[in-house]
Structure 1
Amino acid sequence: MSKEIESAHMGTKVVWAGEKEFRAFGATQVPVVMSVAYDYEDVDEWYRVAMGDRPGYIYNRMSNPTVQAFEEKIRILEGAEAAVGFSSGMAAISSTLYTFLRPGNRVVSVKDTYGGTNKIFTEFLSNIHVDVKLCTTGDHAEIEREIAKGCKILYLETPTNPTLKITDINRLAKAAKAVGAMVIVDNTFATPINQNPLKWGADIVVHSATKFLSGHADVLGGVVCGSTELMAHVYHYREINGATMDPWSAYLILRGMKTLKIRVQQQEKSAMEIAAYLQTQPLVEAVYYPGLVTHTGHLIAKEQMRGFGGILSFILKDEMDAIKILLPKLKYANRAGNLGAVETIYGPARTTSHVECTPEERKSLGISEGLLRISVGIEDTEDLIEDLRQAFEYLESKLPIRVKII
């Protein structure tokens, strides 16, 4: 079934990929296998499985049927040879970096990565004597110059969180290959529905499965996809360091992924219309959404993505004062530090994507204190725009005259 499903369209893959092989008792759904260990009457058979000579399960920190079904589904969606599940998105990202980096290595990345990833680059990797160079996101010439100086890993996130900047994966992957560097891409925002970084030259793709893959804001998870050889190293690191995905989480993410395509389609339809609406608002200083033709990365996004995703952000004039007035007036919104859910979620960068950073650090990354990120849900577009309209009307009535006339 796995080979057959790989030629199907994406909407069919999200429903069927990676499941039939792991069903039991004639069930139409993958079971949640909660057993920590697995019984073997034949000691020699047990040993062969433990040594990896035969497929099977020994202990849940190493492998589990439910988790393996999730890994197989995302493997197929990303067009990878193998995938490894983790307990969270940051576990997937940090474990991948620590799997391959050694003292004296160098990493080239961009300034606009997710705040937790940025902290790994600016705070933790120096502890193992890894040099990190963070370049201006979107300045491909600068990134290429730094790659040419030599690096072990080129780490990209596109679109970025929360400013939605776009990086040309294919162009930078070619530069990385020229110096023998490994290319890792965080594909959380785009999802495999809209972008497959391996197709554009990446070696490894990472996801926070907590977000769009799950889609229901009720489970943590992460996953890493790539070649069989590379994933063997990532798997071994996870096996020993222990940030394993649990089977119940794998089941919930599997269930959520079945509606991934239809969720993303509705979310990006609304995101496009909301972005256009925000551009008309006098209290909005800037709107960031790669689907807008005015977006600096629009043409690159159009080339390497099949859609522009369900996340956008915008900057309010009067910054946090305006945010504190606007957010409580929204009716169809969770004000929370998450994204990718069926409900629309609003949040400023200082309490969501870059809560780990100081105001000074956010400023150095080009993240305004007035930036609001919207993770668009699956509600009707008209209701979301009307909700914004009434909230802006209230905001205009409360802000000082000096802001209204800017």
Structure 2
Amino acid sequence: MSASYSRFETLAVHAGEPRPTHGGSIVFPIFQGTVYETPPEGGVDYLRYSNTPTQTYVHDKLAALEGAEAALATASGMAAISTALHSVASAGDHVIVAGTLYGGTHVFLTEHAPHLGWNVDFVDAADPAAWEAALRPETKAIYTESISNPLVRVPDLAGIAAFAARHGLSSIIDNTFPTPVNFRPHQIGFDLVCHSATKTLNGHSDIVAGVITGSADRIAKAHACLKLYGGSLDPHAGFLLARGLKTLALRVRQQNANALAIARFLEGHRAIAEVAYPGLESHPDHARAAELFDGFGPVLCFRPAAGLDAAEKLLKALELPYVAPSLGGVETLITRPAITSHAGMSPEARSAEGIEDDLVRLAVGIEATEDLVDDFKNALDSI
């Protein structure tokens, strides 16, 4: 594509699309085959190797949207995260982890990583002195989330990227919450960017997928790991992911607006004790988020003033949100992380991170803003 057509909305529709198209089809077809004829120059095109036509098409589109040299689609978000970490860490290596994480990632790093011979230290994502104190000669990487799940804190991301570069570490970031519409971590120096593409990148709650983006050399190393662990993306899921990416900017902007409106409404309601959303001026990381991001994403969390009982009543009283985990779809979802996304953590570990039983996480969809706010108003008035 011509360099003059570099705006995000145009890239989302046209990046990776072949011209002329296959057989005249404007929609890129699904190449369902697992194996392909060996080309004269040798090599193997094979589904598990993530190099079949549908897979490479999706890779090109994803790389363009994150502003990366290369991308690799995987069978899930956890496949992306674990593959990225495997590509930089070996037995005896040390990984620094900044901030609170998605429950699955936390369990992987605390319960599975030790079996791989990795040493992991969790540090305060906003305290550079803690990062320096955690350094060891065997430290190879630092890992963080753009916006933490579920507490929506925003680490000192520019500082983390600079710290990694200064000490020769690989910097890895999970950018699922903001998406590249709101934030592109490679622009501030992150080496590898991961997503659960199950979420907003796809946007329709109908596939499981992941993605890693980075330099060609780094993605080649991740690709070598993925081939052996087998977490390649199915062609039909790749087709659906590409479809979702074309409307990503439109969906995310509506979600940004919805989340901010609901957060402001809840912040002013007597039945709500606290609300966390980076778009609120009251959020401790608001200034940092406003500097880094073009929007604040679809996720907020809050705690009712009357505790767990009120949280459970609210979930039952709401009409529009589905009570379900996940995020990023066109529909609004609401859940208590303690019994869903972070249920794999011990109660003590959750409490230490601030993930109390009455914490509610809301992932807004693209419904009319006014209808969502009215639904919360009616539900809160009824309990």
TM-score range, shorter chain: over 0.9
Correspondent of 1:183 among 168, 171, 174: 171
> Residue 12 of structure 1 aligns to a residue in which SS?
helix
CA distance in 2: counterparts of 1:137 and 1:209, whole angstroms: 24
Give 1:288's aligned amino acid.
Answer: A
TM-score normalised by structure 2 residue count: 0.96
Structure 2 partner of 1:401: none
Whichever residue aligns with residue 19 of structure 1, its letter is E
- 2: distance between equivalents of 1:145 and 1:315? 34
Distance 2:307 2:226 in 1: 42
Shift of 1:150: 6.1
1:27 aligns with 2:14: no
Report the structure number with the largest CA radius of gyration.
1
Structure 1 residues 303 and 111: CA distance shift in structure 2, 3 A: closer
CA contact (8 A) 1:338 1:352 kept: no
Please give the root-mean-square deviation of Cα atoms over the aligned residues, in Å: 1.6
- Tell me how far apart the structure 1 counterparts of residues 144 and 182 of structure 2 sit (CA, whole Å): 16
Q: Where in structure 2 are the equivalents of 1:368-379 lying within 5 Å?
A: 368-379=356-367
Counterpart-to-counterpart distance in 2, 1:286 and 1:139 = 24
Q: Which runs of 5 or more structure 2 residues have no equivalent in the other structure?
A: none
My pick for the range that moved more, 233-242 or 318-327, is 318-327
Check whether the contact 1:317–1:370 (CA below 8 A) recurs between aligned residues: no
In 2, the alpha carbon distance for the partners of 1:268 and 1:317 equals 25
Look up the equivalent residue of 2:45 and give its one-letter code: I
Query: 1:186 & 1:27 partners in 2: Cα distance?
Result: 34
Question: Structure 2: which amino acid aligns with 1:352?
Answer: T
State which of 103, 112, 121 in structure 1 corresponds to 2:100: 112
Q: Which moved more, 1:351-360 or 1:364-373?
A: 351-360
CA distance in 2, matches of 1:330, 1:6: 46
Q: In structure 2, do the counterparts of structure 1 residues 21 and 88 end up closer, same or farther at CA, with 3 Å as the change threshold?
A: farther
Question: Which residue is equivalent to 1:172?
Answer: 160
Residue type of the alignment partner of 2:153 = K
1:17 aligned partner, one-letter code: A
1:11 — aligned with what?
9
Give the equivalent residue in structure 1 for 2:326.
338
Amino acid paired to 2:217: E
Q: 1:66 matched to which residue of 2?
A: 54
- 1:358 deviates by 2.1
Q: What pairs with 1:222-233 in structure 2 (closer than 5 Å)?
A: 222-233=210-221
Q: How does 1:284-363 map to 2 (within 5 A)?
A: 284-363=272-351
Match of 1:128 among 101, 112, 116: 116
- Picking from 245, 270, 285, the partner of 1:282 is 270
Is the Cα contact below 8 Å between 1:166 and 1:301 reproduced in 2? yes
SS, match of residue 155 in structure 1: strand
**Cα offset for 1:37?**
1.2
The one-character-per-residue Cα deviations of 1:60-110 (angstroms, maximum 9, x if unpaired) are: 111221121111111001111111110000011011112221122111112
2:201 to 210, 213, 216: 213
**Structure 2 partner of 1:151:** 139
Q: Which letter maps to 2:112? A: F
Preserved CA contact (<8 Å) 1:210 1:217: yes
CA distance in 2, matches of 1:37, 1:64: 8
Partner-residue secondary structure (3-state), 2:101: coil
Structure 1: unaligned runs, 5 residues or longer: 51-56, 396-406
Cα distance change, pair 22–102 in 1 and its aligned pair in 2 (3 A):
farther
Question: How many Å apart are 1:262 and its aligned residue?
Answer: 0.7
The alignment status of 1:393 with 2:358, answered yes or no, reads no
- Structure 1 residues 361-381: Cα deviation after superposition (integer angstroms, max 9, x where no partner): 211212121111111110000
Secondary structure in 2 aligned to 1:133? strand
Percent identity between the two aligned chains: 36
In structure 2, what residue type is equivalent to 1:275?
Answer: A
Match of 2:229 among 224, 227, 241: 241
